[in-house]
Structure 1
Amino acid sequence: MCKLTIAIDAMGGDLGPHIPVLAASKSLQSYPDLTIIIVGNRSQILPLLKKYHLLDHPRLSFIHADNVIAMDVNPVYALRHTSDSSMHIALNLVAKGKADACVSAGNTGALMLLAKQALKTLPGISRPALISSLPNMRLGHTYMLDLGANLQCDSHTLFNFAIMGSVLCEKVDQIDSPGVSILNVGKEENKGNDVIQRAAELLKQTKHINYIGFTEANELFTCQSNIIVTDGFSGNIALKSCEGMGRVFSEQLDKAINSSLYSKLLGKLLRPVLKKQLKHLHPDMYNGASLIGLRGIVVKSHGSANETAFTYAIEHAIKEIQWQIPASISKKLETVLSERDCLLHE
């Protein structure tokens, strides 16, 4: 395994810098060829590094940042006025080739704008997209993009999303010709607006994408699609609806188990079985949404991620580095666009 370096914005999360520091420590133990650069405020980070015995770690270094981008800061303001922030510094480490990827739990809008400015998009890509995986009862998991970076998309943007998602799935999951679908209000070919209809036509015309049709929202966890493509508005609503339903299910299950002495005893017997069966549905396993389409690797962690969830985000960045996702997307995009240009001129 080749050496790799990840820059971590340690100041962006909701739960404080101790979460990314703990996740960094765990990742360094698991990956002997990994080097981590922690970026954050000296007064907060150095005591944590001392507490967790990381001050003299040979594969961990620290860079001070004077500023932090708060979760409620306007992304445009962050772009213009926070060049000394931990997020900005971490992204610039990737831009300058001093790190192979950046992981941050900070302000999503700011991360997207700063990453686009620092790293630029790949040739042929106008907008990066947020992509993450959802649990799938048939396939293990399904990737969905966009999850909120682009609220409005035209058909060509959705087409590019399909290419980017396919490459990520092919490389990270080692799946040949993964199935791609478009999120729609129905599975029938005549359903959906003009943008969706045109995107479907573009995907049907290329032999390099395994387009399998439309997917409805009630099939997100059971569909045969490896990649589901949608605009950021619909994707973000779908994702948060799923998260909300998951919390309701968990709360109702706990309430039912604690409703009587009999149910408590039964729950005590069933809890280990339920925990084992539902382990693959735990949201921590799916933490880490990539800003895909950039010339570098950027992974967005949930702001409320715990140590385990943040560690998964770091592991996702490691996989993207190992499979050189930006270069792979650029190569496939060049092939697909060349084929499409030939079709248009026939």
Structure 2
Amino acid sequence: MAPPDRGDTPRDTGVLAQAGIAEDSNMRHSAEELASWLEFLLHPEEHEYDRTVIYGTEFGGPGHKKEEPGPVAPTSSDQPGTVPSDAQLPFESVLEGYHVSQFIHGMSAVGSPVVESPTNALAPGAATLHNIWWIGGKGIPSLVDQFQQLGWEGDASKLTFDFLLRLQTVAAQVHLLAEQLHPVVPKYAVIIKGVRHNLKQAADAAVAAFEKKFAEKPETDISIDWGAAILAGIAAAAVTYVTAGGGIILISAMTSAWSTAFTDAAGDLLKPGDGAPVTGTLWRDLAHSYLDKQAEILTAGKNEIDQLNRTVQNALDMFNSDPDIQQFIKDFGAET
């Protein structure tokens, strides 16, 4: 149910565009519905319904504020139990001081990364890490074994074989680093997917709570459950990342297989959770409850990404401090 005389899309969609929530985003409809309700609640001057009426100012006092559901009584009427007309008492929004952008801040934070589409930048990265891992663990050792079977002798052969042995030592170290980094790429993608899922579900719960409050005007707490996904533990979890065969993966092959592999990884890591419901009696209570959920979701996602970032940084530190790798780069690296 949309607000009176409004649709599920806000009159001003610029706030959604500015937040980077694209029209084809799976969060877009939820963001639109939430923004439409917020736009309605933040502009009581445009309608005769829910507002905060300021009582007592006619006597020179500071004024007592109270939520009133409306509709506002006409100026000429004197109907018991109705809200005094705007001409008689000042009023403000039930969410005075808030802005729509605060409520879609979370969706804005994860609106841009492309993680599910086969054309995303993570698929080639996953293929590259797999290839580095495979070359270090299988490719170079196989090359060393085959070289010894060539029957090539002489000084050039010895120099080449010595180089391959050094390369094998370095490749083995890089293999260990790539083994740590190999599952990081799908984990980044799954965390973004999980954050988006939770933010969308929380926004839907907030809209459901707004609809219930407007239609039923309950005097006790509204409580709306939402289907949370557990984000904690993704960074530390084991991931079976299905790849095409046991050897080198072409970038094009990885790109075409990404959606399936990503869906499998997401299914393994995103478990159903019990998120605390969106609750409250007053409009501001419901808003606070939703904003708390938004902050909790973003914090959980950030904590998981921070753990992945530490994994990447540790691998880079190991690479930069490994004497065999650094000496090999010094001896055989390209001159700059």
The reply to whether TM is greater than 0.5 is: no
Largest Rg, 1 or 2: 2
- Greater relative CO (CA pairs within 8 A, separation 6+): 1
Return the TM-score normalized by structure 2.
0.25
Could you say which structure has the higher helix fraction? 2
